[in-house]
Structure 1
């Protein structure tokens, strides 16, 4: 027996002999209060199943205490049985990043009695949502929070409690009516949607400490005409200034801190300085005179619509630091005939090169197959009517619908519109195929199977060993069982609802596990393929299993 338990035992024994005289005043209670006092000492406890190792305890006063170190994922899945008892959450020192997943399908308050949260000094990043914790009115601690990903506190009483809502080094929300707003010194980040849809703000002053502006931060601020300061800004998330007079009226090349917001000039050639940390979305959009761009900075993304409708652009030189080419980045760059993609590129997003009609040659890492490219999304090269060949590295694990090999046929606005509508509705049979389209790659790679499935010629540069396709079964409980495929590293599960025309990747099962829980909804279709990771970082795939439907 530990010392404290032994001491407590002695005190209780003495109390029974001597009465209540030796007991502290706050321990004296009438016989009728015995039950409530015993309940006050009761403690519930458990372990969180997501994130790093964290434990929780709940006392009868409704205080939930969380202890552990690392990444804390706090979810209703762990707290569902006690959600109506929680009044206060105290997170102990050690949580470096916290993700809140407090929401419900019904829309009811997920933690109806939660009024207070205490965040430790060790926490720098918050994400997720407390949106349905509508009675949350007090947030303490969090002095070192410098990044809030998403609208974590939106809809809570605390987020509406003061004119300037700030947590640590992050500016969360503005609830005032002033025309000129000064963000406090020491702020490192302006959070997502912090000023969104404010109709009165005309000017905002950012301190030198601000480095990041979150997505939608100033979206639809219809009176915002001036941004002052912000000399240290290095990152601005998508749509941060969408539909603001300030952004819409930029008529010259403009920087906000180290972010290139807008390029406006008549020069044919332009070099992005190595001091630039980010190119903002649409920065070069509709620059008709621009023929050549060289990017010298260490940017990691070519953003959404960055060069759309640059109809004279013939050459783009990107640094090897680029890992993502975003949605519509080169949409309608009709003069672009050749492009060399960086060796570290991981993703080509939806419509990145759509309707680049002159494009004939695309190379990743000089045409080598052992690149870092993993994903080519929907319609990435759709409407590239002169792109007769495309090399797809065998490290690619995702190829979207219409990614390559489809054309609009006519080459005018009407045919483009018609093609886009058909792709959106999944009308695969009526979207014209690109004549003589050819995919080059290693056999049994995903590029090989994409070519087979879409009726595109495939030229193998190397033979890969085939995997047998798996067989699948779905039992009455909705559990999908996958047969073992010799040599497989794992299995990819795809599903399609009764209302969809496209298959979606539902999940991945790593060998030796061969079980997957479906939605248990009637009429869902499932198919599975095996894959193998190669020693050189590539992937080889089997054909898909026969389709199974939930009953």
Structure 2
């Protein structure tokens, strides 16, 4: 087999030559051969005319998409575009006309660099297209942005330590990412009353900023908008805001209170991580409290969760050491990994059974040797019984469907467990270090609704029993003597890290009924050379085949519609075998993975083009 670098070069040369006649690479590409568009992102422009009309439906113009097209004089952008990224039109030395529709929320750094559209309206301001403030060149202090500016481009005032105050005219509607990032002495900002967004990283690292008034026109506060504004004490969020992005107020340690409007639909991951909030009332429009949304809030004492919420993400309130008052409504059916780790509401609770949400057993605090879990409980939360050495016997009722990770781990004296057929999911390590698991007879620990929870055999060639429906996380973890495995058609799910560190596993066929291949499912299987995924599977998740350093071929069917960007990380020798125009075909191109294409007039075989 040729080296990976040689194959990459040959495959990419082939694809670049074929892009204009390969409509399956993008839904939009089939409408106009001048554009390569994928998932709404205009990645490349290949036209040669003086006017470019971007197809409707494009949502983003990617970095340097039109760069150095010196023949262009006019570009027409549709209302579907919301983002123009870095250097998008740079080097278009004859470009004199571009319309920027109201839909555009952010314009990236150097978007119009080296075009006739760039002009200096004074020594202090560089402007593009007459109404885009590209860069401030002044000395700082108090700055009044010229009237008539509609857009403030990305990084327009970035790293300007002399900037103390900014006054925006009401003509400004859109503010780009990082517009004022790391302006450490900025204390006061008057935001345009017509601004519709607070851009990502807009005030990140503005450590002197104390108060901000967000106008009623704003709909979105984007990710990292006020990240690490450690002196921010007051911010109003108007009723029109529907989204607070990831990390938007993270590290705002002086922010002790905030109003969350009723129209809010999303509070992003880590949105208030490490903030100084004391009390939180989550509005009724929220359905999910996302991962780490309020983690590390040292002063948080009270949280009100409405009955619109159905899910609480991983580590959502982790390390909120003063949080003693919280009500989790019946609507909550899922509570993520370590959501309440270090929270006194849970760990200081003296109830024998701490049950929250839709009958989720969060914690058992009793000392009985024989435990009957209350009828009605649906989920046994992770580590709910962990390290309880008093328990010898547990009876799980038929209402239970889910047993979380490490739920009974390290219950050293647990000898008897009744797991009903109603249980359809058992997390990784759920019964690790228990006498019951240690003494379980047979190679396969199959419990509940035919869940293969653990493999106790000696390895070699293994055939999983035909009745198994799912394989729990880590079931074969570090089974170093496993050389091959036959997975029956009855299996519908391969969970996370199922075969991780099975260093002598060489080949595997994933049957047609497996819908999803979990994270790290085959990671670090360093002898794995060949994988066949049968038609029917739908997704390959993050790091599924991480560091499978010997993996040479993986056969991916047309049914696969999602492959994570990191699915094949550190698989330096892999070639994807797939159908012409399939999702895997597009994936192999965008991720520069060699492929062998079938099902069309042309194939790529080991980097060589064949007609």
Show the 5 A alignment for 1:244-393: 244=229, 248-250=231-233, 254-258=235-239, 264=256, 274=262, 281-282=271-272, 285=275, 294-302=281-289, 304=292, 306=294, 308-309=296-297, 313=301, 316-321=304-309, 325=313, 327-333=315-321, 336=324, 339-340=327-328, 343=331, 348=336, 351-359=338-346, 361=354, 363-367=356-360
Instruction: Work out which of the residue numbers 16, 25, 46 in structure 1 matches 2:21.
Output: 46
Q: Aligned in 2, Cα 1:549/1:232: closer, same or farther, shift over 3 Å?
A: closer
Question: Structure 1 residue 406: deviation in Å?
Answer: 9.8
Distance (whole Å) between structure 2 residues aligned to residue 48 and residue 351 of structure 1 = 46
Distance 1:510 1:185 in 2: 58
Is 2:153 the partner of 1:172?
A: yes
* Equivalent of residue 240 in structure 1, options 225, 230, 253: 225
1:142 matched to 2:110: no
| Aligned counterpart in structure 1 of residue 193 of structure 2, from 208, 222, 228 | 208
Aligned to 1:467: 469
For 1:390-409, what aligned pairs fall within 5 Å after superposition? 404=383
Q: Which residue of 2 aligns with 1:74?
A: 42
Matched, 1:445 2:430: no
Change (3 A) 1:183 1:313: same
1:494 maps to what in 2?
Answer: 520
The 8 Å contact of residues 73 and 99 in structure 1, kept in 2 or not, is answered as yes
For residues 182 and 219 of structure 1, what CA distance do their matches in structure 2 show? 18
Which residue of 2 is the match for residue 17 of structure 1?
none
Q: Is the 1:285–1:305 Cα contact (8 Å) retained in structure 2? A: no
User: Matched residues in 1 for 2:545 and 2:50: separation?
Assistant: 36
CA distance in 2, matches of 1:300, 1:508: 39
Structure 1 residue runs without a partner (length 5+): 1-42, 59-64, 103-109, 369-380, 410-427, 474-479, 501-506, 529-547
Separation of aligned partners in 1, 2:186 and 2:114: 19
Decide whether the 8 Å contact of 1:441 with 1:448 is kept in 2. no
Root-mean-square deviation (Å): 6.1
Deviation for aligned residue 1:335: 5.2
**1:54–1:274 CA distance, 2 compared to 1 (3 A):** same
Deviations 1:366-385 (A, max 9, x none): 459xxxxxxxxxxxx9xx89
Residue 94 of structure 1, aligned match among 36, 48, 56: 56
Aligned CA distance change for structure 1 residues 408 and 197 (closer, same or farther; 3 Å): farther
Contact 2:264 2:285 in 1 (8 A): yes
Quote the offset at 1:219 in angstroms: 0.6
State whether residues 211 and 232 of structure 1, in contact with CA within 8 Å, keep that contact through their aligned partners in structure 2.
yes
Taking a change above 3 Å as real, the CA distance of residues 272 and 200 of structure 1, as seen in their structure-2 partners, is: closer
Once residues 486 and 198 of structure 1 are traced to their aligned partners in structure 2, the CA distance between those partners, rounded to angstroms, is 55
Q: Render the CA deviation track for 1:71-103: whole Å, top value 9, x for unaligned.
A: 533346xx8xx7xx989893434224236376x
1:231 aligned residue: 216
Q: Secondary structure at the match of 1:233?
A: coil
Question: CA separation of 1:71/1:404 partners in 2, compared to 1, >3 Å: closer, same or farther?
Answer: same
CA distance in 2, matches of 1:344, 1:170: 41
- In the other structure, the counterpart of 2:202 is 217
Alignment pair present for 1:522 and 2:522: no
| Structure 2 unaligned residues grouped into runs of 5+ | 1-17, 119-125, 135-148, 368-372, 389-404, 438-445, 452-466, 472-484, 488-498, 500-505, 556-570, 575-611
Matched, 1:55 2:30: yes
State how far apart, in whole Å, the 2-side matches of 1:337 and 1:496 are.
42
- The C-alpha deviation readout for 1:259-286, integer Å capped at 9, x for no partner, is 6978647xxxx99663666769338955
Residue of structure 2 in register with 1:32 after alignment: none
Alpha-carbon displacement from aligned partner over 1:104-131 (angstroms, at most 9, x marks no partner): xxxxxx986346683522324237x546
Shift of 1:518: 6.3
In structure 1, distance between residues paired with 2:450 and 2:289 = 34
CA offset digits 1:209-267 (Å, max 9, x no partner) = 334323311112345455345233343234311233xx6241x6x423246978647xx
Partners of 2:523 and 2:547 within 8 A in 1: no
Number of the residue aligned with 1:372:
none
Q: Is the 8 A contact 2:62 2:88 kept in 1?
A: no
SS at structure 2 position matched to 1:173: coil
Specify the alignment match of 2:4 in structure 1.
none
Q: Distance in 2 between matches of 1:170 and 1:330?
A: 39
- In the aligned structure 1, how far is the partner of 2:378 from the partner of 2:174? 38
Secondary structure at the aligned position of 1:74 is classed as strand
Q: CA deviation at 1:449?
A: 5.1
Counterpart Cα distance in 1 of 2:49 and 2:387 = 59
Looking at structure 2, the residues matched to 147 and 461 of structure 1 have their Cα atoms a distance apart, in angstroms, of 51
Partner-residue secondary structure (3-state), 2:328? strand
Q: Does 1:512 align with 2:530?
A: no
Residues 334, 356 of structure 1: 8 Å contact kept: yes
Aligned to 1:195: 180
* SS of the residue 1:118 aligns to: strand
Aligned residues between the structures: 402
Partner of 1:125: 82
- Structure 2 residue matching 1:45: 3-state secondary structure: helix
